[in-house]
Amino acid sequence: MPLKSFERIILFTHAFGRSYPIVEVTFIKPNGQRRVLPLLFDTGASSIIIRPKYHYLFPRSTATEEVGTVGRSKGVNAKATTGKVEFLGKTIDCNVLLMPIKMPPLWAGLLGREVMELFGFGYWQSSGELFVTVTP
């Protein structure tokens, strides 16, 4: 059996009678200011997706991208921009999609696979733990 080791644990956030894998990600604005956004850990998202109201954190962009979402037959238009994010000590330049999706106030968007590639994760829904290694 393969064995994996992890050096960090992110405990799930409890709300509304359920547990959610929410991770705090720091976004570094073009002027160097740092802002934390809670994001839902979502392996179904290819990149970071943020609600459009947080656009002020990112460089202005006119590029749009059609994004496929579950439950919809047509794609949704999203503004495509980039962002510098810091997560568990790693700083990453990555794509960010500003997309109008309804979410509770607990998270501002979704953490997609582009950032996940730099880490290794072990996901335990029943115990509410997300194990992370920064050296996968």
Partner 1 sequence: METIDASFTYVGTWSFQFGGEGIGPIERQIPSNPQLNAARVVMQPNTAFLAANVKEISAKYAGKWILVAGGKIVASANSPAKLEKQAAKSGIEDPLIAEIGKGPAVWNTAYASQVI
Nearest CB to partner 1, comparing residues 5 and 62: 5
**Contact call for residue 51 and partner 1 (CB under 8 A):** yes
- CA dist 49 and 110 (Å) reads 5
* Sequence-distant (≥ 6) Cβ neighbours of residue 32 within 8 angstroms: none
Binding mask 64-93 for partner 1 (x = CB under 8 A): ------xx----------------x-----
**Contact call for residue 100 and partner 1 (CB under 8 A):** no
**Contact call for residue 34 and partner 1 (CB under 8 A):** yes
Residues 104-123 that bind partner 1 (CB under 8 A): 104-106, 108
- CA dist 39 and 29 (Å) reads 17
What's the closest the beta carbon of residue 61 comes to partner 1, in angstroms? Answer: 18
- CA dist 120 and 116 (Å) reads 7
CB atoms near residue 128 (< 10 Å): 15
- CA dist 130 and 75 (Å) reads 30
Q: Reduce the DSSP state of residue 53 to 3 states and report it.
A: helix
**Contact call for residue 36 and partner 1 (CB under 8 A):** yes
Residues 2-31 that bind partner 1 (CB under 8 A): 5-11, 13-16, 20, 22-24, 26
- CA dist 46 and 66 (Å) reads 13
Q: Can you give the binding site for partner 1, defined by CB under 8 A?
A: 5-11, 13-16, 20, 22-24, 26, 33-38, 51, 53-54, 56, 70-71, 88, 102-106, 108, 127-129, 131-132
